[in-house]
Structure 1
Amino acid sequence: MDEAPLAREDTAVPFQSPFADVEIPDVSVYDYLFAGLTDDDLGRVAVFDSATGTDTTYGDLRARIDAFAGALAARGISPGDVVALHCPNTAAFIIAFHGILRAGATATTVNSLYTPSEIANQLRDSGAVRYVTVSVLLPAALAGCADAGLGPDQVIVLDGAEGHESMMDLLSEGAAAPEVSIDPATHLAVLPYSSGTTGKAKGVMLTHRNLVANVEQTTSAIQERPDDVVLAVLPFFHIYGMNVIMSLTLKVRAKLVTMPRFDLDAFLRLIHEQRISFLYIAPPMAVALAKHPAVDNIDTSSVRAVLSGAAPLDESLGEAVKKRLGCGMQQGYGMTELSPVSHALPLDREDISIGSVGLAVANVGFKVMDPGTGDEIEAVPGGRTAPGELWVKGPGVMVGYLGNDDATRETIDDDGYLHTGDIVEVGPHGEVYVVDRLKELIKYKGYQVPPAELEAVLLTHPAIADAAVVPHPDEEAGEVPHAFVVVQEGQSLTADEVIEYVGGKVAPHKKVRLVDFIPVIPKSASGKILRKDLKGKTAADLA
């Protein structure tokens, strides 16, 4: 029997989801997604791989997952083993990922941009015994494997490379999927690594139940439909791409269109050619959709919904995307440690600002805590609360950080609340507004200045294509806001103009004091601004 959902009368959980609690199936991820395929489902297209131009039906997808799992088992992979997966968004990723889980093993997904030393660190930390990759990533993969003591004979290259087994080799063996028995509540399905934007990346232990629960929790808020065509460009190796875009789409029996990397022209072309109806994006893509002239040259009328996640999206930018594409616009919030979604804004809640990350999904309760006093912040009838740190409780909360009990205790308290490190305010409908990261607030003469607020203001300037704000040490003020700005092509802008523009829209203590112009804002693969790469730097340092 599953643990009881959060009780409505639980006074320890001041903010509750407006959605009815859902029962979490006590099954593996594979059984949850594929065991219930009907005869009609088998012939439906599950994946269109834009890199190869090929379709894979749900029936074929399940058969290939089973065969991949059987081949892994034949090579000694069994429950408790960790297999690393280092691959861009393709049908092959989906087959390998679910094949690893079907074999009872744990998948640790590797960032496609990782260097050999970063790969080696993850392999050593996770204890991976096999490595699955593709030929374009093979040089870094082999170097990282060698550093971690994993031999080339343990490396599978999905699309083939001399001296390595390929996916075709494994699938052609026709080995039957193994009979495995696991406890979904305790067995680790995936071991993704947190982005490391505020420190060293840590292995996040997520069980089958965590992943199944989060898909089940979010279906009423995100509202994908079986007739949707979903463009999957945000990386599957990241939890947003893995469990929301990939697994949620497969669960509702919609069609995934995979894209190995973001290129605006190719992105727009796929929207037109594949009649994409549901877009998952990160804020940098929202900037392009709102501002880039190429959008006017493509038919985007098939798009009915856009969901932005991975970083806060400003209301004005969300409204600009909504107006330009003529579609519904929603925003969601989550963390790797939450499997990942805790909040999402349903399409039909037009009474709530697009600038909000929405409402708590089913089975989720949360608190807002004053980071200075440690006191709980109360709801404000008809208004917005004071800002505080978001603490979340629900079935998506991770087991903990691999081999790091201290970090786990710092993140999950004795009552089961995960301390997100995000500063939020709660609106009159229970909707949440992300103000900033607790550790990224700029302290100007004792005032707290949220970088995200200034970034949102900067993006409203018609000549600014992208922006990031970080703290800069100052002898008198302690820290001052330092803006890094990317100017729209064909436009010109001076630092004084930027400072004056922002100064006219914010309180004096929030004014930008320094400006550097750079060609691109550094971001993680999931779209988060890498402020650590900008702190203490100038444009000359980044040239």
Structure 2
Amino acid sequence: MMETEPSGSRVRDRVNQDDTETLLYSSGTTGASKGVVVSSHRNLIAMVQTVINRFSLEVGERFICTVPMFHIYGLVAFATGLLASGSMVVVLSKFEMHDMLSTIEKYRATYLPLVPPILVAMVNAADQIRKKYDLSSLHSALSGGAPLSKEVIEGFLEKYLNVKILQVYGLTESTGIGASTDSLEESRRYGYFSNPEATTSTLDSERWLRTGDVCYIDEDGFIFIIDRLKELIKYKGYQVRPAELEALLLTHPEIVDAAVIPFPDKEVGQFPMAYVVRKPGNDISETQVMEFVGTQVAPYKRIRKVAFVASIPKNPSGKILRKDLIKLATSKL
């Protein structure tokens, strides 16, 4: 656009694609939230292009913004990627189920990006929702920010026959771009803000990013992400995945929500403890919860302690705040 370079007196600071574009913070579900100084202009440009290429959006697609834009999910999707595609984005001032559903009906939304807790709530209240709201314009739901179990997906597809589910995966440290257990990006030059120890433990000497996910690759080359390494429960040398037990608990008709944490024990190291939200009007007992799970899993995976709560603490992106539940569970030890 300019034939000659601007004079030095007119340019105070030069910005290039490898400069830091944003300072985002990790979710802090298992420990303190960390400032992530990795979102360069190059990263964000690449992410916008990824969103555009991945969805191949038709003219007239309409999205409902249900997640905060100060998290990577909201930033790369709503604040940048979808706007760059020319799609309509309807932003909710705050999340409430009624507001979201009535907005879908009013604006004839076609895409509903959300987090698993909202999707679970839609499954549990499907009969009432379908009677009260017209969601016929909706053809796709996008889930991200936390794991979504097979059981919940099947339940949603059974209740909302014309809506397909897409799962998105990424993390703040990679500017939202999906990665495997180790990932490398061309422009990876930064780390955690004022936290060299955390940077060293996450980025190796060749700048590969350790995401902390437990996954496997099947014979067809597909990667399956099954849990977080930091969240595994160590029972007598066995590793128990909380996400597996949570998915199983959510299949019980009297359970609205659940979270599983490691509970310390002198003999076995740790065992699974469940926090459970009962469906209103039901009085399922601790014994019934443990028996429900115990008949479907190996002995070392059995839940050995249950507490009932009004709600499961979660951050704005829908991730369970396990550190809060662990603190609550161990406060009386």
TM-score, with normalisation over the residues of structure 2? 0.90
1:315 counterpart = 2:315: no
Q: 1:540 to 1:194 in 2, by over 3 A?
A: closer
Letter of the structure 2 residue corresponding to residue 190 of structure 1: T
1:482–1:224 distance in 2 versus 1, CA, 3 Å:
farther
**1:267 is matched with which residue: 84, 95, 100?**
100
Identity %: 39
Query: Shift of residue 406 of structure 1?
Result: 2.5
Query: In the aligned structure 1, how far is the partner of 2:55 from the partner of 2:239?
Result: 33
The whole-number CA distance in structure 2 between the counterparts of 1:226 and 1:179 is 41
Distance 1:429 1:272, change over 3 A: farther
The answer to whether the 8 A contact 1:340-1:396 is kept is no
Q: 2:53 aligns with which of 211, 215, 220?
A: 220
Counterpart-to-counterpart distance in 2, 1:500 and 1:199: 32
CA 1:498/1:439 → structure 2, altered by over 3 Å: closer, same or farther? Answer: same
Of 413, 426, 431, 2:217 maps to 426
Match of 2:24 in 1: 192
Task: Determine if the alignment matches structure 1 residue 241 to structure 2 residue 32.
Answer: no
Structure 2 equivalent of residue 299 of structure 1: 134
- Distance in 1, matches of 2:43 and 2:187, equals 5
Determine the C-alpha separation between the residues in 1 that align with 2:186 and 2:51. Answer: 12
1:539: how far off? 11
RCO comparison, higher one (Cα < 8 Å, 6+): 2
The alignment status of 1:508 with 2:299, answered yes or no, reads yes
1:313 shift after superposition: 0.4
- For 2:287, give the aligned amino acid: D
Question: Following the alignment from structure 1 to structure 2, what is the Cα–Cα distance between the partners of residues 428 and 290?
Answer: 32
Deviation string 1:126-152 (CA, Å, 9 cap, x unpaired) is: xxxxxxxxxxxxxxxxxxxxxxxxxxx
Number of equivalenced pairs: 318
Contact 2:236 2:268 survives alignment (8 Å) = yes
1:397–1:309 distance in 2 versus 1, CA, 3 Å: farther
CA contact (8 A) 2:31 2:323 kept: no
Stretch of structure 1 that moved more, 294-303 or 308-317: 294-303
- SS for the counterpart of 1:341 is coil
| Counterparts in 2 of 1:427 and 1:307: CA distance versus 1, 3 Å | farther
Compared CA separation, residues 447 and 284, structure 1 to 2 (3 A): same
Aligned partner of residue 413 in structure 1, secondary structure: coil
Deviation at 1:216, TM superposition (A): 1.4
2:183 corresponds in structure 1 to: 392
Mapped partners of 1:391, 1:477: distance in 2: 31
| RMSD over equivalenced CA pairs, Å | 2.1
The two structures have a TM-score, normalised by structure 1, of 0.56
- Classify 1:436/1:534 alpha carbon distance in 2 versus 1 (closer, same or farther; 3 Å): same
- Give the equivalent residue in structure 1 for 2:259: 468
Question: Any stretches of 5+ residues in structure 1 without a counterpart?
Answer: 1-177, 344-365, 367-389
Aligned-pair CA distance for 1:316: 1.6
Identify the residue that residue 314 of structure 2 maps to in structure 1: 523
Deviation at 1:179, TM superposition (A): 9.8
Q: Does 2:158 align with 1:336? A: no
Amino acid at match of 2:119: A
Inter-partner Cα distance in structure 1 for 2:82 and 2:123: 25
Contact 2:314 2:320 in 1 (8 A): yes
- Choose which of 25, 28, 33 in structure 2 pairs with 1:201: 33
Higher Rg:
1
Q: Which runs of 5+ in 2 are unaligned?
A: 1-10
Q: Judging changes above 3 Å, is the alpha-carbon distance between structure 1 residues 509 and 291 closer, same or farther for their aligned structure 2 residues?
A: same
Output the CA distance in 2 between the equivalents of 1:194 and 1:239. 9
Amino acid at match of 1:263: E
Cα separation, 2, equivalents of 1:474 and 1:281: 37
Residue 539 and residue 399 in structure 1: after superposition, are their counterparts in 2 closer, same or farther (change >3 A)? closer
8 Å CA contact 2:263, 2:329 repeated in 1? no
Alignment of 1:44-123 (within 5 A): none
Distance 1:221 1:319 in 2: 23
Residue aligned with 1:416, SS:
coil
